[in-house]
Amino acid sequence: MLSSICVSITLPVNPTPLLIRIAIWTWLIAALFVGNSVLLQRLPLPAIQGILVGLTALCLVLYFKVLILRTWIDRLDLRALVLLHTTRLVGFYFLILYRRGELPYAFAVPGGWGDIIVATLALLVGLLPMANAARHRAITIWNVIGFVDIVMVVITAGRLGLQNSQQMRALTYLPLSLLPTFLVPLIVASHLIIFLRLRRETFPNET
């Protein structure tokens, strides 16, 4: 709640086009339906990893190919893309599920604390007052840390699931089913888009 108020005060307004809002809500509703129907539990784990990779690739293809989407994203303050990653406070839930015996240590504890650190740094980078050059450096460092973390989380989930699919069962139903079907594709795609935008700002004459 507090972060939402701070963002509304400090970030320039960039209204979301209606078509983009409809697309995002449709995607979220579809992800909720998949999680509620426990469809992911009927699929072998490689299929779930394939869904995650496919949705991430789709996000990037749409960014490059759909002008209205690319224009809207490129007009967003970079801090808005960074603050999207406050959703990674879901790492606290990983730790809770580990204590309940519903997620393995190798995934929940390193991944949980990694996500908590990345989300906390996102708040600091996004909301603390900084000069433009300092913020650019801070976002660059944060983006590398956050990207490495999410890649390691995805790889670990896939490896552990292949060893024993039951130990990763919590990712196949709500609320964590939203990770492979909605949130993680957005997170990975946003990291890559941030890298591209940082590079364009650093080398403004290049396209």
Residue 4 pLDDT exceeds 90: no
Give me the mean pLDDT over the 7-17 stretch.
Answer: 67
Q: Domain for residue 131, yes or no?
A: yes
Residue 141: inside a domain, yes or no?
A: yes
Say how far apart CA 125 and CA 2 lie, in whole Å: 15
**Maximum distance among all alpha carbons in the chain?**
53
Containing structural domain, residue 79: 49-202
Q: Which residues contact 36 (CB under 8 A, 6 or more apart)?
A: 174
Q: Does 30 reside within a domain? A: no
| Residue 54 maps to a domain | yes
For the chain, the average pLDDT equals: 91
Secondary structure letter of residue 101 according to DSSP: T
Residue 122 lies in a domain: yes
* Model pLDDT, residue 10: 56
Lowest mean pLDDT among 7-16, 19-28, 132-141: 7-16
- The answer to whether residue 17 is domain-embedded is no
Number of domain units in the chain? 1
158-197 pLDDT per residue, tens: 999 889 888 999 999 999 999 999 999 999 999 999 999 9
Determine how many CB atoms are found less than 10 A away from the CB of residue 68.
Answer: 10
Is 25 inside a domain boundary?
no
**Domain assignment present for 93:** yes
Give the amino acid at 78: L
Better pLDDT: 23 or 42: 23
